[in-house]
């Protein structure tokens, strides 16, 4: 059964279909949440929350707007960013088990992408990661990196321009 058929089954409240969908994507969803949050406990909460959303709203999936994996990852990333933004400034996002965390969310398993990312200057990689995968706002990135806002915008522009030159678009 493919992903779309599974989602259709989940929309009819088929618990077995939910289990199968979970087994296919739990690691991916958890990994994305962990990349954004850098905290195992909150990433677990986000993962459960994402699959709970799938259980209740599987019927909302629209195949015309992208693949199931992309849809799921986008839901996860946005949900994790929402969680991160709700944390009080005094809440530590650092995870005591961070030894198990990837050192960078930009350590890609996509070889072409990995090579293209590796060719970017570190400061451009950092801006892409902080804005896209960690959900920080432009001014927050500027503060964190102690650079003007214009520099952040410029680094993002240069990073994507260079990646575009190096990579050809790949469908989901």
Partner 1 sequence: MNHATDTHTEWEELVALHALEGLEPAEAQRLEQHLATCADCQAALADYQGIAGRIQASVPLVQAPASIERRLLRRVQQQRLRRSLRWVATAAALLILALGGGYWWGRQTAPLSASESRAATAVARIGAEKSQILQLSATTGLSASARCIWVFGESQASLIVAGLPPAAAGQTYQTWFVLKDQTVLASTTFQVDATGAAVVQLVAPAPWPDLAQMIITSEPQGGSLQPSTPTLLAGTF
> Can you give the binding site for partner 1, defined by CB under 8 A?
15, 18-19, 22, 26-32, 34-35, 40, 44, 47-48, 51-52, 55, 66, 69-70, 73-74, 77-78, 100-102, 105-110, 113-114, 117, 128, 131-133, 137-138, 153-154, 156-157, 159-161, 163-164, 167, 169-170, 172
SS in 3 state form for 15-29? Answer: HHHHHHHHHHHHHHH
Residue 2 DSSP SS3: coil
Of 91, 117, 92, 116, nearest to 104 by C-alpha is 117
Distance in Å, CB of 89 to partner 1, minimum: 20
Distance in Å, CB of 90 to partner 1, minimum: 25
Distance in Å, CB of 91 to partner 1, minimum: 21
Distance in Å, CB of 73 to partner 1, minimum: 5
Give me the half-sphere count of Cα atoms (radius 13 Å) on the Cβ side of residue 100. 8
- Cβ closest to partner 1, residue 31 vs residue 144: 31
DSSP states of 40-61: HHHHHHHHHHHHHHHHHHGGG-
């Amino acid at each position: 059964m493919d992903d779309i058929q599974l989602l259709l089954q989940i929309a009819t409240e088929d618990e077995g279909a939910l289990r199968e969908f979970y087994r296919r994507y739990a690691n991916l969803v958890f990994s994305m949440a962990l990349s954004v949050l850098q905290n195992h406990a909150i990433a677990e909460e986000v993962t459960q929350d994402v699959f709970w959303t799938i259980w209740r709203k599987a019927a909302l999936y629209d195949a015309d707007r992208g693949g199931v994996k992309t849809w799921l990852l986008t839901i996860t990333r946005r949900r994790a960013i929402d969680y991160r933004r709700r944390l009080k400034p005094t809440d530590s996002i650092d995870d005591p088990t961070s030894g198990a965390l990837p050192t960078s969310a930009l350590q890609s398993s996509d070889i072409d992408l990995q090579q293209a990312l590796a060719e970017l200057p570190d400061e451009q990689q950092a801006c892409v990661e902080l804005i896209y995968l960690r959900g920080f706002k432009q001014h927050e990135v500027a503060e964190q990196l102690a650079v003007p806002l214009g520099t952040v915008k410029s680094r993002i522009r240069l990073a994507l321009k260079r990646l575009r030159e190096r990579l050809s678009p790949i469908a989901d």
